[in-house]
Chains A and B, each alone.
Chain A
Amino acid sequence: MSGSLSHASSAEPNLTPILDMVFQLITFFMLVINFKAASMDLDLKLPVVGSARPVDSEGKDDLLVLNINSEGKLKVYGQLIANVDGYIRQEAGASLLVARGKNPSAKADDLPSIVVIRADKSTPFKMLNQIITTCQTHGFRNFALKAMNKEA
């Protein structure tokens, strides 16, 4: 009986290699996780334009990502924004604070932040223009219009 017990305890699997492998997988997924994807509405169908270049924010990390669906509704981090003017005004205020932190002479009518427009390819210009004009009214001047450079 004593011999049988001893035999059972020695048959325990060695879990160390599997643990090593799992930790390596976790490390991989932690490294490739993309938090920026959360700000993108992946349901939108972007237009395809040949000369659209991959993202290059010229070292400026202060981006305001605006998702505009085919009905012209603004979506940010998955939430529909009802008060577009209020939201953009608030973002402009925050952007100005950041800009003045770096450069005290930053102007409120020429904010350094880049407004990233991700609009559905069937969005009518009228809807798009309302949002762009609101951004311009609140001091944003730099825009990045998103497109795919090949069919997904």
Chain B
Amino acid sequence: MPLFAKGRSFLRNVFSSRRVDEDLDGEVRAHLELLTEEKLRAGVPRAEAERAARMELGRVEQVTEQVRDQRLGNWLQSVLSDCRYGIRQLRKNPAFTSVAVLALALGVGFSSIVFSIFYNGILHPFPYRDAERIKVITVVSDEDPHWRRSGYRLDEVFALRKGNHTFEDVAGTTSWDVLYTKQGVNEPIHGVVVTPNFMDFWGVRPLLGRGFIDNRPRTIIGVMPPRFFLFGADFYTTIAWNRPEPTEEDAMANNLPFFFFASGMLKKGVAPATANADLLAIALNLVPLHKEDKAFPEKFHMETPGFAEAIVGDFTKTMYLLIGSVALLLFISSSNVASLLLVHTSSRVKEIALRSALGASRARLVRQLFVESVILGVIGCVAGVLLAFLGLRTLTIVPGIEVPGEADLGLNWAVVLFAVAISFLTTLLFGLSPAIFAVGRDLRTNLQSAGVNASTAHRGTKVRGALVVAQVAISLILLVFAGLMIHSFVAITHFDPGIKTANMFVAETHLPGHQYDSTESKRAFFSQVLTRISAVPGVLHATTSLGFPVLWGPGSQDVTIPGKAHDKKWRTSFEAVDENYFATLGLPLLRGGGLSSSDVIAAHRVAVVNNTFAQQYFPNDDPIGHSVKLNVLDEIPSTPHDAYFEIVGIVADCRNWGFDRPTAPEVFIPYTFSGFGDRNILVRTVANAGALTHPARQIFNDVDSNAIINRPDTLDSMLESHTFMRPRFRVFSFSACAGIGLGLSLIGLFGVMAYSVTLQTQEFGIRMALGALTGDILALVLRKGLLLVGGGIVLGLGASFFAVRVVKSQLWGVSEFDLRVLLLAPLALLAAGLLACYLPARRATKVDPLVALRYE
């Protein structure tokens, strides 16, 4: 069985190579004895016989080497010995090895983490089938790009689904909050109503279970997998396509699902423009059906943003920036590895020269270097992947990390592979450089120069110097980014929106059925509830509103002011409040009077305007005494039409569109103008506003067990998730990038300086022997370091002027050319850089001239 014999030989050669070698040695020795004996028998004297036998045999080592060379598994055998040699080399230089492994691990680990977040959070964030083809069907006004609508009546969704030629399917979803009765107390739970094609559309299958919800019992027929957080719902229920379509008012009063969020699965290969045109044709047919509810602007077009884009929004840009920063970081870490390997190279030129003088072939040497680089690369990359894995786990507990709730954040192996490949290639490339530098060059030159370590070393040093300059420059860019993000974060968190946001409890409420449709019933309910909440210890004021102060109000609405002529439409936000509103917010009255309790009880047609309203529409005259009409009220059947409110006072401004937009003009009217709609409550407390949830819920339950408090929260925590979270994430992520980048660059700088000091040991010795002082040597070394750092800073500042334009959109309240940042970042870098140079410089001053000169 030749194959069997081969296998056995292979295994024996690889695994008991020592026995095989001993056997061979024995055989060759026996051969020599046999030869000698042969000669003796022929009558040759012993001494002569032994000499002749040895002549005939040749050199024993050569014979055995030739046998070994063509043995089965010889290749593997020598690679294994290369590995052993390589590992020994790495262990012999623990400093080099650990720094190189650390550099590789940090580079691979950190970039993998960010690349993973990027991929899973942005490029492919959702666990749904063909997520990239899921589009949000949106109506956009031609005149006002902020006028966007993705919510449709169910019959509209059906029309879109049936009429289009560009989508595989269109599904509707809407959130639907219902009461869950547990032990006699009502609690709202958040549900999602979906069209029957929902499961197929999203490609998600439920798990199973049973139960009851709501006062109409419903059977739970399925449990969705935990990863399926579509619209953050507690339960899903479906609705028939052909239900009799209710009016919007009916739907609101009876808590029927009404506006559905329409998403479409685009057919493969259809251009967005084609789909938009297709949808527009259908939408134009729907316009006549919606004369009374103004569901479509006069002129509009359709847009189909991706589902990811619609949910993640402007966060995409942050992630793209971050990915850019990480690519820079990967460059810094790779160049550190390169730099380390270059030093390693010059110290090995002599060894390589010696080995090739002893007969090692070029291929053999290259293979040895290759194996060493591979070992280094493997250890570094494995450590890096481990770091990435652990890092991504801890990342979920870092405060301020915000990625879309739907996204699945795991380590992405494709991107890990990418980072590993880059680092690995760098390691191989620069690990093999000794082969390029040393092998094949004149042996004598190498043997000589390696002793004096002059010219060859200097060639590597130039390359390393250039790498350090680039590293410093890139670090500076990262520092500037981080600085801008920090400054921006400080600006946004210290911004004064016009009121104190701390100690403010906020909640949505929902009153059941038609029972509270009338103005009087609603007022009776809220005055009772708010009076009782005000009596809770620690509560200062309680009020009710339509929107949430600072963050959200009923938007910009047409306003008519009699006696004022204007070409453009005048717009204002408005708020329907009670007499305690301004006191609760702490908004000072600037002029005139506020809203009195009698205004509220009797529903007087009076209004208070904010300062912006007064400035904008009454620049030259006094608004008090004028009247305003909110045109939007004319469009709602149950609100008073043609109602003019007399302006009685002006209050100070506070933000009403969020932090990003300037304060809009705003009109405050008594909320008793109509019994329309759900309302919010706002409560100012002495401290710990969040603790009010339970007492407030209890009071609501006592007044009417069907009245519920929804999404109780504090204003600060709403601000946190709406306004501060993303800047906080930016501060964290960009600072991490800058910190790691700076650390890696300093390691690089330190390495180069330390090595150049080593190279110049003799020079320093001579200088000191000739009378140079410690300070002279220190200055000499520091000047060299300063040149590298300074070069990097100049280069980095230049690059920063272009780079900051990219981060402009991510900043709030600071210019991208923020002087403080552009000054402090280089200074910090300079200080850190000098420190990194100081340690090697100190060592240079400790050179003993006698010892240094003896090196020659």
Decide whether A and B assemble into one complex. Answer: no
What is A's interface to B at a CB cutoff of 8 Å? none
